[in-house]
A and B are shown apart, each in its own frame.
With several copies, the nearest count.
Chain A
Amino acid sequence: MARITAGIACSHVPAIGVAMDKGITDEPYWQPVFKGFEFSRKWNEENKPDVVFLVYNDHCTAFDSSIIPTFAIGCAAEFTPADEGFGPRPVPVVKGHQKLASHIAQSVILDEFDLTIMNEMEVDHGLTVPLSVMYGDRKPGDDWGTLVIPLAVNVVQYPAPTANRCYNLGKAIRRAIDSYPEDLNVHIYGTGGMSHQLQSERAGLINAEWDQNFMDMLVNEPDKARQIDHIEFLRETGSEGIEMVMWLVMRGALDEKVTEVHRHYHVPASNTAVGHLILENHG
């Protein structure tokens, strides 16, 4: 049977990708950011998944204003890294797992989650940066080393889905994966965050104390974390901190009790607080 063995939370700051693509990760500014990923890459090598279920948001790249899905699952054979305005990132094409993706889509829709199915989709830094964090440098001709099922969540136009809804979607994804007959090791990623505001006069807002509390709560008291409402995210963590609802999807797909095997927190990467967790299921 397929099983989810671990959940990974990870900011997806574009500048992290740029630092890797330019090979400047040893510079004093970036060194502490990447230091915290060393364990993760080693751990990932030792716990290789067959499939990554990757929850992220599109940043007005694949989706323009004409269509805004709350949850969009990628069921295509592959997903091309998008040009976000300065050429596509020099990283491999992302390969999907079509059968598992369709199985999850079907199961979750019958479980009364109203997904949008994407049979063609480009992917932006929201998806490729967390893969770069966990898999290290990969060039366009390379293989990422895993198959990926993308789930794009609307966090750009208010309202995003609630934290509670995201958490429950995670539970439904778990049920779907648990019922897939093939033996597959699946990791689930919740990406985005942590506190950051990219816009207007409050740009640069960081709330480190809130971020650390959130990580504690997410790990040990998810039933509390899923009650955080939109206004708290917006006020306390900046207008783009709302991305953290995506961490709840990941957490919902894990066991009630998990082991935190790694935590990394650093301010800043560009405008953003970088947060990162690796959680193992006991199952």
Chain B
Amino acid sequence: MTEKPYEDIPGTFVFDADRSREGYWLNQFCISLRLEKNRQAFRDDPEAHMSRFAMSEEQKQAVRDRDWNRLLELGGNIYYTSKLAAFDGIVFQDLAAMMSHMSRDDYRKMMVDGGRPIEGNRYKSEWEKK
């Protein structure tokens, strides 16, 4: 209902109220993994632990698939979904590589060389031209 001036930024989900509402239980599931007792429960029986949170079937499937971008698309926020990644032993930089479809080494090299440049990455229109 509200104008979203940030919708034209490429490769970016701005976590606003609409996303927050959609992702509510997905994010609450992810943050549950902050505590060891919940990590143990998820290790022991992933489906049982997931079922404690009112996630949609799509969200559950994205968790099963560890489809990191899909999780964001379905309302997940990176600070929550990264707790699922931490559960899997994935460090943040490798998670970032996966989300941007790069190999671990290529991503790491890109960062050491100064990061992903801003030129060409400000507007969706710039990506569509590629």
Contacts and interface: CB of A to CB of B under 8 A. Distances in A.
Contacts of B20: 65, 102, 119, 157
Interface in A18-74: 29, 59-61, 64-66
Contacts of B56: none
Interface string A190-232: 0000010111111111111110000000000000000000110
Given A65-B20, A106-B17, A231-B5, A84 B34 contact: yes
Given A202-B116, A204-B96, A271 B111 contact: yes
Contacts of B11: 200-203
A271 B13 contact: no
Interface residues of A, number: 61
B99 A60 contact: no
B10 A99 contact: no
Interface stretch (A139-147, A161-169, A233-241, A244-252): A233-241
Given A65-B24, A158-B15, A84 B111 contact: no
Contacts of A156: 15, 77, 79
A60 B80 contact: yes
Given A64-B28, A156-B15, A157-B15, A86 B79 contact: no
Contacts of A234: 6, 9, 12, 14
Q: How large is the interface on B (under 10, 10 to 19, 20 to 34, 35 or more residues)?
A: 35 or more
A65 B16 contact: no
A103 interface: yes
A167 to B, nearest CB: 22
A258 interface: no
A181 B1 CA distance: 7
A231 B14 CA distance: 10
A204 B115 contact: yes
Nearest to A176: B2
A264 to B, nearest CB: 16
30 contacts: A15-B93, A59-B79, A65-B24, A65-B31, A83-B36, A85-B34, A100-B1, A102-B17, A117-B17, A158-B16, A199-B12, A199-B72, A199-B78, A200-B12, A200-B13, A201-B11, A201-B12, A201-B101, A202-B100, A203-B96, A203-B97, A203-B99, A204-B116, A205-B115, A205-B116, A234-B9, A236-B118, A236-B122, A270-B92, A271-B96
